[in-house]
Amino acid sequence: MVKNRLIACLLIKEGLIVQSTNFKSYLPIGRPKFPIEFVTQWDVDEIILLDMSAGKENRGPSLEVLEMLSVTCTVPLTVGGGIRSVEMARNVIRSGGDKISINLPALENKHLVTDLARQFGSQCVVVSMDCKKQKDGKFYIFGSSGHKNYGIEASEWAAEVENLGAGEIFLVSIDRDGGRLGYDLDLISSVTSKVNIPVIACGGVGSYKDFSPGILKAGADAVAAANIFHHVEHSTILAKAHLLDDGVNVRLDSEARYSNRSFDKFGRLLMLDSKTLDIENIEDSRK
């Protein structure tokens, strides 16, 4: 069986990786090279790299940065930000991207989804959707960093892009972004029930416990987050330890598995006392 995936979403703004809250405020983390190296070493299944400045500056993602990053990236790399033509997509793939993520250009030019699928195959085309709940209780597609309501329901747009040739949907809740309240399960369910292509849930993860409901309750194939993976050692391994504990079928090749460890209510690893550590080390060395 194909495994569910844990995806790290890395946001680049003006050349730096940032944490984002509600698409409004941004906290810089640092240069892109290191976060990518970290999560790759820590068994992340995929990386989505979004250049948030690209669209506004009317350019594609920086190919120079991409070429540098692809050297150490041993997992699939989806790249997004300002890609609005087949030619730009081709350059991204040639520079080390494995998949293309498109958001607004898909809304403005539906043929682009089909053209990209024809050129590179559906599996290469990820349509990213930024969604907000409106007063009528339905979820709508928003653009321009969450300012413009396109008046299209998320589930309808998802079904349409599937027909146009998209291979995957990257579903972002603007309401939950950076809010640490967990995924918007209603939003995810409304989309996963409408399409037959994989759906990646994103937006709202505040604790490692927040990942598994996206898969088990809302039917997502992959779960993504951004902010939570920064500043914590083995962050993506810890996330997978929680997923496995909840019965989600994810890959964990790492030697560090944290399978018998305790966590606090925020999902942070509780320390062992020195005695326990000592015994563990002795047992390990006997193996």
- Note if 130 is an active site residue: yes
First to last CA, the chain: 31
Which one of residues 196, 259, 262, 285 is an interface residue with another protein (CB under 8 A)? 196
- Chain positions 15 to 44 lying near another protein, rule: CB under 8 A, are 40, 43
User: Which residue is catalytic, options 43, 130, 184, 210?
Assistant: 130
Q: Does 121 bind another protein (CB under 8 A)?
A: yes
Token duo for residue 150: 């396109």
Which CB sits closer to another protein, 86 or 181? 86
In this structure, are strands 77-80 and 125-133 parallel, antiparallel, or unpaired? unpaired
Which one of residues 38, 79, 88, 95 is an interface residue with another protein (CB under 8 A)? 95
Under 8 Å CB-to-CB from 160, ≥6 apart: which residues?
A: 110
State the nearest-atom distance from the C-beta of 109 to another protein, in Å: 20
Q: Does 5 bind another protein (CB under 8 A)?
A: yes
Q: Does 85 bind another protein (CB under 8 A)?
A: no
Which one of residues 64, 135, 137, 253 is an interface residue with another protein (CB under 8 A)? 253
> Phi and psi (nearest 5°) for 143?
-125, -170
State the nearest-atom distance from the C-beta of 60 to another protein, in Å: 15
What letters, b where the CB count within 10 A reaches 16 and e where it falls short, cover 48-67?
A: bbbbbbbbeeeebbbbebbe
Q: Which residue has the tokens 């002795």?
A: 282
In this structure, are strands 16-21 and 5-13 parallel, antiparallel, or unpaired? antiparallel
Q: Does 168 bind another protein (CB under 8 A)?
A: yes
Q: Does 123 bind another protein (CB under 8 A)?
A: yes
Helix locations, the chain, DSSP H: 33-41, 63-70, 86-94, 104-108, 111-120, 154-164, 185-192, 211-216, 235-245, 274-286
The footprint of another protein (CB under 8 A) covers: 1-5, 40, 43, 45, 67, 70-71, 73-77, 90, 93-99, 118-124, 167-168, 196-198, 221-222, 251, 253
